Amino acid sequence: MRDQVYNKAHSHIVDFAFTKEVTEVFPDMIRRSVPGYETVVPITGLIAARHANTGDKIIDLGCSLGATSQAIAAQTANDVSIIGIDNSIPMVEGAIAANADSRIAFIASDALSENTLEIAQGARVIVMNFVLQFCDPRSRSSLLQGLYKALAPDGLLILSEKVRDESDAKHRFFDETHLAWKRANGYSDLEVSQKRTSLENVMQVDPEQVHLERLSSAGFENTDQWYKCMNWASFLAWKTTRTS
């Protein structure tokens, strides 16, 4: 369904949330809003599937409607267990309704809860695609520390985020280019500006260097940035240093 959430003037812009209305248009919204989404999701699936063996557990944290969970499943014939977790009930309900793969389960839980860490315990791969940016900045380090501890000894975290360039001029350049790309994808000036206002308080982005340092501080021995498109990036963090 076409995303028209912000196409009429709102008298008061409320903070963005993953509501039922957003859930219904989410695939179209994210495809037209996040540069590289259509590359990051299938390649995340490929990397996660290559890292996991039969019997392994893979966590898709902040799974929304399960696009990444489905991409992982599509890349492996192994009998893995893929668990998508999200704190939005409409998203989890939508993901369950669309799923036909018995290797995938979807669960409603908050990324910051003990319950989520228990579910993630022993996972070979944890994916967090475009989710940390919605978590309170003060909780980001402890969340990553928790995920580090939950991962299996040779576990891998795949983290994708909107990022902020440390140079203001470069940040502005990519930011303005991103908005132009949204307009080229059919969003009007009104939609672009109302969505931006709605995200102001709920999406706070960090520079790439902050992500890499935070991952190292959480304990990850080996980190890499495998993807970047304008102000959107994806990182790999291995719990232990690769020997091959």
Ligand X SMILES: C[S@@+](CC[C@H](N)C(=O)[O-])C[C@H]1O[C@@H](n2cnc3c(N)ncnc32)[C@H](O)[C@@H]1O
Q: By CB under 6 A, name the binding residues for ligand X.
A: 18, 30, 41, 62-64, 67-68, 86-88, 91, 110-112, 129-131, 134-135
111 vs 119 by CB, closer to ligand X: 111
C-beta nearest to ligand X: residue: 62
Neighbours of 168 (CB within 10 A): 9
DSSP class of 24 = H
* Least distance in angstroms from the C-beta of 237 to ligand X: 17
13 vs 117 by CB, closer to ligand X: 117
* Least distance in angstroms from the C-beta of 57 to ligand X: 17
63 vs 156 by CB, closer to ligand X: 63
Helical residues (DSSP H) of the chain, grouped into ranges: 20-33, 37-51, 67-74, 89-98, 114-120, 140-150, 168-184, 189-199, 208-218
Neighbours of 107 (CB within 10 A): 16
CA-to-CA distance for 72 and 68, rounded, in angstroms?
6
| Distance between first and last Cα of the chain | 45
CA-to-CA distance for 35 and 55, rounded, in angstroms?
34
* Least distance in angstroms from the C-beta of 243 to ligand X: 30
30 vs 52 by CB, closer to ligand X: 30
C-alpha distances out from residue 166 to 15, 172, 198, Å: 26, 10, 24
CA-to-CA distance for 108 and 87, rounded, in angstroms?
5
111 vs 144 by CB, closer to ligand X: 111
* Least distance in angstroms from the C-beta of 215 to ligand X: 18
130 vs 148 by CB, closer to ligand X: 130
* Least distance in angstroms from the C-beta of 93 to ligand X: 12
* Least distance in angstroms from the C-beta of 220 to ligand X: 20
Close Cβ partners of 129 (under 8 Å, ≥ 6 residues apart): 40, 41, 44, 60, 62, 68, 158, 159, 160, 234
